[in-house]
Homo-oligomer: A and B are copies of this chain.
Amino acid sequence: MNAEIIAVGSELLTPARIDTNSLWLTARLNELGVEVLRKTIVGDDRNLLAQAVASALDRVPLLLITGGLGPTEDDVTREAVAQALRRRLLFSEEILAGIEERFRRLGRTMAPNNRRQAFLLEGAMPLPNPHGTAPGQWIDLPSGIVMLLPGPPRELEPMFTNHCLPLLRERLPQAFIRTRFFRVAGMGESDLDNRIAPIYRAYSNPVTTILAAEGDVQIHLRARAASEQEAEALVEELGAKILAELGDRVYSTDGSPLEAVIGRELASRGETLAVAESCTAGMLGARITEVPGSSAWFAGGYIVYGTAMKTRLLGVDPALVAQHGVVSEAVAVAMAESARDRTGATYALSITGEAGPEPSTPGIEPGTVWIGLATPGSASARLYRFPAGRERVRRWAVQNALYQLWRSLLESRAG
């Protein structure tokens, strides 16, 4: 089955606000086997919204509308849907009583405006909203379903989960969905696609989606079938072929990010990690510690942004810097070794590079980064040349530092 989502609100048509409800709703709909064919964002304009509602219902049997259920004149969703469906709005004493009760409980007086929220479309079922004043509305049409949902995520999400999902499950043709979620590092999106497209293109079910961020590629598989076993068999068959092709480039089969996978490995070994960051200036440490509980395996380290700090905080020999330059293999190795020594961690990663936008080191192109790794037995560094863009270079450097450590952990596990 296909759906469309309409997000209502003039603030969503400004440069600084984005509709994120539709991402959450899309995930829930996909889990039911429903595809979203179009998303529309319209302002608080009754006629434009009514037109958008009517034309969406010409295309799909399932329409979700978010926002515009508030108490003010700007909130026109109820009126617009009534206009589009040619249905009346009926005042509900019961809903009004619920809204008044909510205000009483909060020790506040209901504004007269809130009466607007007690109007229900003819034939609509109200959807309770314990987190706000506006109830949602569910309308069964001869040709489909329309849902009116509140805009704030903390009102919308429980309402959808507790009331819309059970109703949808009843009305949708029985279908079971099984998914796989692989994450891959150390290869670009197009290299990856070249290798696995011949495999997944042979399947229309599961559906394969590939998403790429800096140095990190995600592969999503979603199979749909009439039974759970059948869906599982479909996703397992394609998943196994992709895993066989990519081998240990797949660092995660449960969606965990690279830093969490590394954390689990270090924790299981009782080992620890430190960092010494120049151009990333803390981004690596910040990303590692996004993992709750990372203090079990992450010690800390050094932000040595200025050249003088590399000597002052890490004791890197100024003669080494003078001879090789600050963005060099020798300095990356020295930074990693010193960070490992001084923190007492099992491993240390170092990053020294030129993030740009302007070259600040003579002879070093922006995008040039050396990443060092010190382990109990060795210290080495690798050279990377990332595409331009200050923040992009820094994010690529962090991802590749983590991947360099992960490869080393895999090798020592194999050895």
Residues of A in contact with B (beta carbons under 8 Å apart): 11-18, 20, 23-24, 26-27, 30, 35-43, 45, 48, 52, 55, 59, 154, 209, 211, 218, 220, 275, 277, 279-286, 288-290, 292-295, 298-306, 308-309, 312-313, 342-344, 356-358, 360, 389-391, 394
Q: Which of B42, B45, B284, B303 contacts A302 (CB 8 A)?
A: B303
A41 cross-chain contacts in B, Cβ below 8 A: 38-40
Q: How many whole Å from A223's CB to the nearest CB in chain B?
A: 16
Instruction: Identify the interface centre among A11, A39, A40, A282: most chain B CB within 10 Å of its CB.
Output: A282
What is the total number of copies of this protein in its complex?
2
Give complex CA distance A358, B294 in Å.
Answer: 12
Residue A303 contacts which of B24, B59, B285 (CB distance < 8 angstroms)? B285
A48, B389: Cα distance in complex, Å? 35
- What chain B residues lie within 8 Å of A295 (beta carbons)? 305-306, 360
Are the C-beta atoms of B11 and A15 separated by less than 8 Å?
A: no
* Chain B, Cβ-Cβ closest to A25: B15
Tell me, in angstroms, the Cα distance from A295 to B356 when the chains sit together. Answer: 12
- Roughly how many angstroms separate A369 CA and B259 CA in the complex, as a whole number? 24
List 27 contacting pairs A-B, 8 Å CB cutoff, sorted by A.
A15-B23, A15-B24, A15-B26, A15-B27, A15-B30, A16-B218, A18-B23, A37-B48, A38-B52, A39-B41, A55-B55, A154-B389, A275-B303, A277-B282, A280-B286, A281-B282, A281-B288, A282-B282, A282-B289, A285-B303, A286-B394, A289-B305, A295-B305, A299-B309, A301-B303, A309-B343, A312-B344
List chain B residues, Cβ under 8 A from A292. 356-358, 390
**Contact (Cβ within 8 A) A42 B48:** no
Q: How far is the CB of A7 from chain B (nearest CB, A)?
A: 9
> How far apart are the CA atoms of A289 and B355 in the complex, in Å?
10
In the complex, the answer to whether B286 meets A300 with C-beta atoms within 8 Å is: no
Q: Within 8 Å CB of A279, what residues of B? A: 289
- Which B residues lie within 8 Å of A17 (CB)? 211
B39–A13 touching, CB < 8 Å: yes
- Contact check, A343 vs B288: say whether CB atoms are below 8 A apart: no
Residues of B within 8 A of A283 (CB): 282, 286
Q: Please indicate the chain B residues that have their CB under 8 angstroms from the CB of A305 in the complex.
A: 285, 289, 294-295, 298-300
A306–B313 CB distance below 8 A: no
A340 to B300, CA, bound (A): 18
The distance in angstroms between the C-alpha atoms of A64 and B40, with both chains bound, is: 15
A275 partner residues in chain B, CB cutoff 8 A? 282, 303
Q: Are B281 and A286 in contact (CB under 8 A)?
A: yes
Report Cα–Cα, A20/B18, bound state, in Å. 8
Report the minimum CB–CB distance from A104 to chain B (whole Å): 19
Smallest CB gap from A38: residue in B: B42
